[in-house]
A and B are shown apart, each in its own frame.
Chain A
């Protein structure tokens, strides 16, 4: 069974239709790369999955259960959305780390706040915090920042900030981790360290959706590629097919522009 099923997602801002009938599904442990020209709707799609935007139509299912159905008002209630968001993680292009917290505190904050909602929180407070702390330290070590845990975001490079942001998202154990152009805000020499972290996650079979302009990386890491243009999925398939033998003219044009660069 697919971990994620997206059916007939449609989204308009005012009168412009930004997403038109988006359908795809994703298996556990797969990596989906989303490519396409600027303004195509890639960010909007990720924002819909993370409930930062509400689709006008469509259904989103995770592990077979309906998370969102535009026709069912019960799935749209604000109070439920917060919990549903936790199925997804989102890493932003601009990191959005909390500047007043250290790297470690950034990773720890959300799990600590969520733990307070556990029924056994008061009974096991110390143990719960210890576990969260250990998990956060482990994640920071895993992304290679064991020695920068107590640094504030302004003391870290862009690449280090983005790695902390990845650890922060992982700390909540999302089913599906989404990335919106995770290296676009970085100096070219810093993209490598972030891509290496994402690649390591792929090797550990983390289910991910990655919007990216790094074509070589997408081809390498993805199990499936979506090419989105003008709010539609123009082409989808295995990376070899989409990159080597694109069926659509538009995909070909888009890819040839990248080949020239």
Chain B
């Protein structure tokens, strides 16, 4: 116990650095996947058959395979198979590959949620807008959008919470996120070796961060509680 207390400041410092990388991956994924998901959603609902088929094919592939395999393929395929290591070496290359894998993966999940949200708004809402002389643009932004948002906040919240934990998968390509940082103390890092407790301790980071997110997302849901659909 005394030993742990002695090691704590060093470990926390290293884990903080790792968790910063976790957070970076988390926010980049959301920033990319929110808009890309909308593009894929509109693609999958398109009347142009080629477009909707391609979007659905992509969604099928991405949702049908583990994110871990997608990470490995996206990171190693260019270098090992095509002999053109486009990601560059080192941490920045790993981060780029991980970001692209995560954005693509989450965009596909989000797109299905968006599609459900869009399709769940009754056509009567659109028709009421049309009859009142509104443009399609006005109908989307003034009538449909908020109803859609209200519907998708709960399922999107679930995905966001899952994403926090999923970022740990980037460990597989040795991205130096918080799990990697915790594990390093087993082999030896910062003068500490053979310690497994730092790895277990990373759980605290996930718990606290997800706790904050849960509160924020619940607040957003509550904000939209003033009307019913």
Partners in one complex: yes
User: Nearest 7 A-B pairs (CB), nearest first?
Assistant: A110-B132, A96-B128, A154-B228, A96-B124, A90-B131, A100-B227, A99-B227
Complex CA distance for A172 and B129, rounded to whole angstroms: 12
Q: How many contacts A-B (CB < 8 Å)?
A: 63
Contact partner of B135 (CB less than 8 A), chosen from A82, A92, A94, A168, is A82
Q: Which residues of B contact A (CB under 8 A)?
A: 122, 124-125, 127-135, 138, 142-143, 146-147, 150, 226-229
A110 and B127 within 8 A (CB): no
How many chain A residues touch B (CB < 8 A): the figure is 28
* Contact of A154 with B227 at beta-carbon distance under 8 Å, contacts A94-B124, A98-B125 already known: yes
Task: Enumerate chain B residues within 8 angstroms of A114, measured Cβ to Cβ.
Answer: 133
Residue from the set B122, B127, B128, B143 with the largest chain A CB neighbour count within 10 Å: B128
Instruction: Give the contacts of A232-252 with B (CB-CB under 8 A).
Output: none
B124's nearest neighbour on chain A, judged by CB, is A96
**Of all chain B residues, which has the CB nearest A165?**
B128
On whether A172 and B124 interact (CB within 8 A), knowing A113-B142, A154-B227, the answer reads: no
The reply to whether B134 and A110 form a contact with Cβ atoms under 8 Å apart is yes
Q: Whose C-beta in chain A lies nearest to the C-beta of B126? A: A96
A258, B98: Cα distance in complex, Å: 69
Residue of B nearest to A79 (CB): B135
Whether, in the assembled complex, A89 has its beta carbon less than 8 Å from a beta carbon of chain B, the answer is yes
**A83 to B124 CA separation, bound complex (whole angstroms):** 20
Interface contact B133-A83, CB-CB below 8 Å: yes
Give 9 pairs: A residue, B residue, CB < 8 Å, sorted on A: A52-B127, A82-B130, A82-B134, A97-B128, A100-B150, A101-B227, A113-B133, A114-B133, A168-B132
Complexed CA–CA distance, A59 and B100 (Å) = 56
Known A92-B127, A99-B229: A86·B147 in contact at CB below 8 Å: no
B133 with A96: CB separation less than 8 A: no
Within 8 A of B (CB), among A205-240: none
Q: Mark A153-190, 1 if CB is under 8 A from B, else 0.
A: 11000000000000011001000000000000000000
Residues of chain A in range 39-53 having any CB-CB distance to chain B below 8 Å: 50-52
Chain A window 96-108, contacts with chain B (Cβ cutoff 8 Å), 1 for yes, 0 for no: 1111110000000
What's the nearest-Cβ distance from chain B to residue A84, in Å?
9
Q: Report if A92-B128 is in contact (Cβ < 8 Å); known contacts: A98-B143, A109-B142, A113-B138.
A: yes
List, in ascending order, chain B residues with CB within 8 A of A169's CB: 131-132
Residues of B within 8 A of A50 (CB): 131
Closest-CB distance, B149 to chain A (whole angstroms) = 10
- Contact B147–A100 (Cβ < 8 Å): yes
Within 8 A of B (CB), among A73-88: 82-83, 85-86, 88
Q: B135 contacts which chain A residues (CB < 8 A)? A: 82
| Chain B, Cβ-Cβ closest to A93 | B124
B147 to chain A minimum Cβ distance, whole angstroms, is 7
CB neighbours (8 Å) of B147 from chain A are 99-100
A92 touches B134 (CB 8 A): no
Q: Bound complex: CA of A88 vs CA of B131, how far in Å?
A: 8
Pick the contact of B130 from A85, A100, A154 — CB < 8 Å? A85
Does B226 contact A86, Cβ atoms closer than 8 Å?
A: no
Q: In whole angstroms, how far apart are the Cα atoms of A83 and B142 in the complex?
A: 19
Contact of A100 among B129, B134, B138, B146 (CB under 8 A): B146
**Cα separation A114 to B134 with both chains bound (whole Å):** 8
Q: Which B residues touch A88, using CB under 8 A?
A: 131
| 8 Å CB contact of A85 from B122, B133, B146 | B133
16 extra interchain contacts, Cβ-Cβ under 8 A, other than A113-B142, A169-B132?
A52-B130, A82-B134, A85-B130, A85-B133, A92-B128, A96-B125, A97-B128, A99-B147, A99-B229, A100-B146, A100-B147, A113-B133, A113-B138, A114-B133, A153-B227, A154-B227
